[in-house]
Structure 1
């Protein structure tokens, strides 16, 4: 595209200062986003994009431009947005904050509407005055909003597709994104109204989780030993049962799960030395199942993680017929 010489000259003049602002903003924000596990994106506005923005007629002077450097923090759900805003307000000067859903919008219209924090760098020692006044834009997007943006926004808004049908599809997808974000925000409330149906594997994992958590509540298992995720632990415990015990044709592994839980319970209750803090809950469970002779072998597709600490505390595990996880290869 043809860019007016005045725009090109101004862009070339301010670009080094914008890049410096972007570097400082990135250094500050990425430390926060990486600690939280939030993806971060940032870029300086290109010459062509700047020219197109000025041609909208919405800006009366250069100082009104607020996204010469723009970045985005991607949060899992809407519930994380307040903590991001709190961080931005403590580290930068807040020029303006345009919260999502703060503007008037036809209820039948669906468009991009994420929260935008317009900020400026706080004045520090040796900060050039040429960068202290440059504004930057931080968008706070949910994961669903970001997916919509990168897959459809460029096609329907910045690409060559001007037609009604293209914008219709983009709006329909945006409506779906908005609904998904609301469902995630009210996850528990939505789950409460769903009619529950039985599924043996899920039922078994639920019993596993409830039994182990009850042992934590009564002190048989120290709270420090709790797994990062009870969902993953219950899946792993049931997988161990399925890999080491004969499946019943009628009830599957339901009885086996109960047998395994009873064996672990007896081991916990019968121990006079307390829970060994050198073992994870999975390791202790495997050792208890071997010690009680409930598990003697596992199938070839399953590789249990057997360590020297386990063999010391549960010597019978040395007789387990298996192909253990190989730490060396």
Structure 2
């Protein structure tokens, strides 16, 4: 079971399971809440932890493609047993029946009932961090349980904020920007406009930050930088140089078309305090004229490849 679920879960999700111990099993049967001790719904229980609430439905769809659903709690996502002023446990629980693959020998588990919870990482973190506060086996303390559920309320609010971040960002309270964010956004637009998606790294924002740093070094704002790269592209250089990464292509264009500004930028970098100095990365595929090399070049650049 564990290997099967670990194999099928999405990368980035967490999985864990447990088998109910003998003592825990006995106590649950003694409670009178178990109709059939030989078919206990959570004798085996598993948990899949997803990144945030928007992925819960995706995880449920995946699980229901692998197993038969006996029932779920809550029955519908739009309903809850909780009053609006309480924050008790109500994570999604699926009660599933193992389904043998007819193309392979029987496992002996066909039709076995088990529980699978789907939680977000925040929900999972709360249950781990506050377990001893809410399930202490030899004491009951109102104040510690109060603290635990106050934390749950705060995490539920955080979960809501994460899931609805795009909509919340449109609020007049948050719909603002600063000069850095505005400039970075402009550089992201430059990158996505001038390079094909297939030629870009997954982290486009980091690339845009690196190019913004290069533009600042040669005293080009976003508009001037875009005009420069568009001119290079028209001449078959810059963004059209597919033998170099986008960063490397910009370095090559600056060396070829703005050598004096590039040299001044390197000299300026060398004047920065040691804790702020960052060398310019230059790969060996980049062609550097001999006239540009020297003490400044050696100290202000990092050549790799």
Normalising by structure 1, we get a TM-score of: 0.75
Which residues of 2 match residues 264-303 of structure 1 at below 5 A? 264-271=229-236, 275-293=240-258, 294-296=261-263, 297=266, 298-299=269-270, 301-303=277-279
Indicate the structure with greater helix content: 1
Alignment partner, residue 230 of structure 1 = 204
5+ unaligned residues in a row in structure 1: which ranges?
1-24, 216-220, 247-254
Report the secondary structure of 1:36's partner residue.
coil
Displacement of 1:190 in angstroms is 0.2
Which residues of 2 match residues 1-329 of structure 1 at below 5 A? 25-33=1-9, 35-99=10-74, 102-124=79-101, 125-129=104-108, 131-160=109-138, 162-193=140-171, 194-215=173-194, 221-241=195-215, 244=217, 256=221, 258-271=223-236, 275-293=240-258, 294-296=261-263, 297=266, 298-299=269-270, 301-311=277-287, 319=293, 320-321=297-298, 322-324=300-302, 326=304
Displacement of 1:165 in angstroms is 0.9
Superposed CA deviations along residues 56-79 of structure 1, whole A, max 9, x for unmatched, are 321132134122222211111222
Distance 1:288 1:81 in 2: 47
1:291–1:316 CA contact under 8 A, matched in 2: no
Displacement of 1:222 in angstroms is 2.4
5+ unaligned residues in a row in structure 2: which ranges?
none
Superposed CA deviations along residues 226-266 of structure 1, whole A, max 9, x for unmatched, are 33133222222234456x458xxxxxxxx555554443333
Distance 1:231 1:223 in 2: 13
Give me the CA root mean square deviation.
2.9
